[in-house]
Structure 1
Amino acid sequence: MKVGIDKLGFYTPETYIDMTELANARGEDPAKYLIGIGQRKQAIAPVTQDVVTMAANAATKILTPADKQSIKMVLFGTESGVDNSKATAVYLQTLLGLSADVRAVEIKQACYGATAGVQMACDYVRSHPTASVLVIGADIARYGLNTPGEVTQGAGAVAMLIKADPDLIELEAESVFHSADVMDFWRPLYRSEALVDGHYSNNVYIDFFNQTWQEFQNRTDTNISDFDAFLFHLPYTKMGLKALRTITSDDQHSQDLLTEFEAAKKFNAEVGNIYTGSLYLSLISWLVNSQTLASGNHVGFFSFGSGAQGEFFAGNVGPSTQLQNLKMQMEASLNQRRQISIKEYEAMFEARRPFEAGDYAFDLSEEKAQFYLKGQQNHQLLYVNTKNN
């Protein structure tokens, strides 16, 4: 039985900053950000958007009433949770109007959480062929103003519907994973910004990729020539390119893989780091922007979450009858955004209230999304679905 990703939905906030302007404001050569890091724009989340609302805004773009009836699990990968106990998936279940007959769970392991959800979802569907699973990868990447990691911030959500006989990607059952307790990136409970050892983290990422890729080849008797594309978790686009170059050479097939990577990084460069959703935003980018995409294309995926967990798995492009809808969705998502100044961005960054106990209400005059956060009352977050009002 074929199982995999049937639909993909994406949401990113409607405000962004330009990397050239950020570089100039920080006294850096813009080429460092544009070429050295490989980022062009960075999505900026207003206080009215968190991972729950972004996930709802992404999922509502793809779910039909029939889809909602078939969903038996909601698996929410994030490292930007809104509660130390209650799962983001439960909030999402309510906002989307899903049945109470649903298992709703949040998964955390840095940027790897959504992949854990995808694999659990595929296993569930293989034993429950008529069911489907909603998997979310949503995060707001925060390192702090005037920090080395500032250029790799971002915000967004990817929603994936996992089911039998999928339209977009048929995922293979075999995968290779590797974990180790390393302190390359972490965020203590008392912080809303991550701590990272950037150089060390880059090395861990590449090491995990090479280990899992080598073992995958051993288990499946495949090699690089069997793949039409390699997709990577992209905290910034240059990182994936560095990893890919460790296995490519000067031959034509390697050059073709590098061309496909260019297609796969395009949207990530426009949005920035969305942690758990970054690999799957790259998948969307490849599906939309590849000039050679065809049903049956064999694609490898490398998922990575600092701390650290890595996994290599593979799949094949399905019939892709919904590809035009995905292209239209992405065009609307990215073209409707508004550029803000660095001063506006800094004010928005400082305005976020991740650990405040008191009641508060946000200014909603600029909010246009269907789902948003309007504030907090009696220690409870207040979410709004405008279609219910």
Structure 2
Amino acid sequence: MQIGIDQLAFYTPKTYLDLVDLAHTRNQEPDKYRIGIGQSQQAVIPVTQDAVTLAANAAVKIVNTTNRDQIAMVLFGTESGIDNSKSAAVYLQRLLHLPGNIRTIELKQACYGATAGVQFAHDYVRLHPDKQVLVIGADIARYGLNTPGEVTQGGGAVAMTISAEPRLLNLDNETAFKSEDIMDFWRPLYRTEALVDGRFSENVYIDFFKAVWQDYQQQTGRAIADFTAFAFHLPFTKMGLKALRAILPEADETQQKQLMANFEASRVYNRQVGNLYTGSLYLSLRSLFDNATLKPGQRIGLFSYGSGAEGEFFSGTIGDQFDTQASRQWFTDFFGSRQQLTMAQYERVFSQKLPDHDVLLDLSHDDARFVLSGIKHDQRQYVDRGN
């Protein structure tokens, strides 16, 4: 029995910032961002969206009457949680009209949370092959205006269903992981923006990747020649390129060209959205599926990384019902309909914050189905415009 990713959807608001504008305003060369960082645009998240609404807007594309009653768990990976006690997953359960006999759990380990969800879901479905698990990675990446991390901001959500006999990706059983208490990135409870030691974090990312890649090879006996492509956690897309280059010498010249071409396919979407934290690896996987020439049975390697730090390398083979036409069309339409913000508009949106207590928000500039309409009696108020 094969178990893996059956469906994979994405959502982010249509408002974005062109990083050439950011570079000019911050007195930087645009190529420092476009080439040195590997980013072209970043999503700008309005105050009427949070981790819950982002997740709902992604998940509604893959949860419907055909599978709603099969979903036994919602595993919500995020580092942008909205409550120190109540999970984001239980809000999502209500918004999606999921059944009551269901587990709703929030998972946190920086950008690794969604991968933990995928692995837990894989184990659950193995024991319950008639069920599905909804896995979410939803975040808003914030470092602050005019900070070194500003260029790697962004946000959005991925939603995946993990099932038996999946259409997209059959996950292999073998996986390699590593954890270590490292202060490369963190966000104390009193802060809305993250703290990061950028160069140190890059080095840890590469070290973890090489460690888990070597562990995986020792476990499985597989080599780089067994892989058609690799997908990486991409806080910025140059980071994944550095990781791939660390192992490229293990491949022959022909395969190196193939792996590089497929890496370029895997970062098309991330270049235009920015950092998703928990969802970044899976947006990269979606981009790989949609923009590379792939065939059923080919093996894909995936590297997940969460600062602080935890890394995991795992793999899967493309499913027999692999079809990307609908997803490619959605992304084409989405990128063609986005609204570019000026620097002044971007800074104004970024600076808007929810107050500590009651507020009613202006929804006129947010066309999403699920929105945050305000706070009443210290409770977030969500609206489903589809009902």
**Considering the TM-score relative to the shorter chain, is it more than 0.5?**
yes
CA distance in 2, matches of 1:350, 1:366: 16
CA apart distance, 1:297: 1.1
Partner amino acid, structure 1, of 2:213: W
CA apart distance, 1:344: 0.5
CA distance in 1, matches of 2:283, 2:243: 18
CA distance in 1, matches of 2:45, 2:274: 12
**1:146 aligned partner:** 146
CA distance in 1, matches of 2:353, 2:5: 33
CA distance in 1, matches of 2:348, 2:317: 44
What is the correspondence of 1:114-129 to structure 2 with a 5 Å cutoff? 114-129=114-129
CA distance in 2, matches of 1:336, 1:133: 32
CA distance in 2, matches of 1:320, 1:29: 45
Are the counterparts in 1 of residues 186 and 195 from structure 2 also a CA contact under 8 Å?
yes
Partner amino acid, structure 2, of 1:319: D
Partner amino acid, structure 2, of 1:382: Q
**1:30 aligned partner:** 30
What is the correspondence of 1:124-139 to structure 2 with a 5 Å cutoff? 124-139=124-139
CA distance in 1, matches of 2:343, 2:55: 26
CA distance in 2, matches of 1:372, 1:257: 39
**2:238 aligned partner:** 238
CA apart distance, 1:214: 0.3
What is the correspondence of 1:260-339 to structure 2 with a 5 Å cutoff? 260-290=262-292, 292-339=293-340
Partner amino acid, structure 2, of 1:343: A
**2:253 aligned with 1:251:** yes
* SS of equivalent to 1:246: helix
* SS of equivalent to 1:200: helix
CA apart distance, 1:321: 4.4
What is the correspondence of 1:218-229 to structure 2 with a 5 Å cutoff? 218-229=218-229
Deviations 1:162-219 (A, max 9, x none): 0000000000111000000000000000000000000000000000000000010000
* SS of equivalent to 1:66: coil
Are the counterparts in 2 of residues 12 and 333 from structure 1 also a CA contact under 8 Å?
no
CA apart distance, 1:330: 2.1
Deviations 1:355-386 (A, max 9, x none): x3221111111111110000101100000001
Partner amino acid, structure 2, of 1:372: V
Structure 1: stretches of 5+ with no match in the other structure: none
TM norm structure 1: 0.98
Partner amino acid, structure 2, of 1:139: D
CA apart distance, 1:325: 1.8
CA distance in 1, matches of 2:101, 2:337: 36
Q: Evaluate the alpha carbon distance shift between residue 296 and residue 52 of structure 1 in structure 2; reply closer, same or farther with a 3 A threshold.
A: same
Partner amino acid, structure 2, of 1:284: R
CA distance in 2, matches of 1:37, 1:311: 23
CA distance in 2, matches of 1:241, 1:306: 18
Are the counterparts in 2 of residues 11 and 158 from structure 1 also a CA contact under 8 Å?
yes
Deviations 1:74-105 (A, max 9, x none): 00000000111100000000000100111000
CA apart distance, 1:61: 1.1
Structure 2: stretches of 5+ with no match in the other structure: none
**2:172 aligned partner:** 172
Which consecutive aligned stretches of 4+ in structure 1 deviate over 3 angstroms post-superposition? none
CA distance in 2, matches of 1:378, 1:247: 54
CA apart distance, 1:37: 0.1
**1:359 aligned partner:** 358
Partner amino acid, structure 1, of 2:233: H
Deviations 1:269-328 (A, max 9, x none): 0000000000000000000000x2111110100000000000000000112444212222
Are the counterparts in 1 of residues 63 and 96 from structure 2 also a CA contact under 8 Å?
no
CA distance in 1, matches of 2:10, 2:184: 28
CA apart distance, 1:64: 2.2
Partner amino acid, structure 2, of 1:29: E
**1:10 aligned partner:** 10
**2:375 aligned with 1:373:** no
Are the counterparts in 1 of residues 296 and 322 from structure 2 also a CA contact under 8 Å?
no
CA distance in 1, matches of 2:277, 2:10: 14
CA distance in 1, matches of 2:369, 2:323: 23
**2:381 aligned partner:** 382
Are the counterparts in 1 of residues 373 and 381 from structure 2 also a CA contact under 8 Å?
yes
User: Considering only aligned residues, what root-mean-square deviation do their CA atoms show, in Å?
Assistant: 0.9
**1:212 aligned partner:** 212
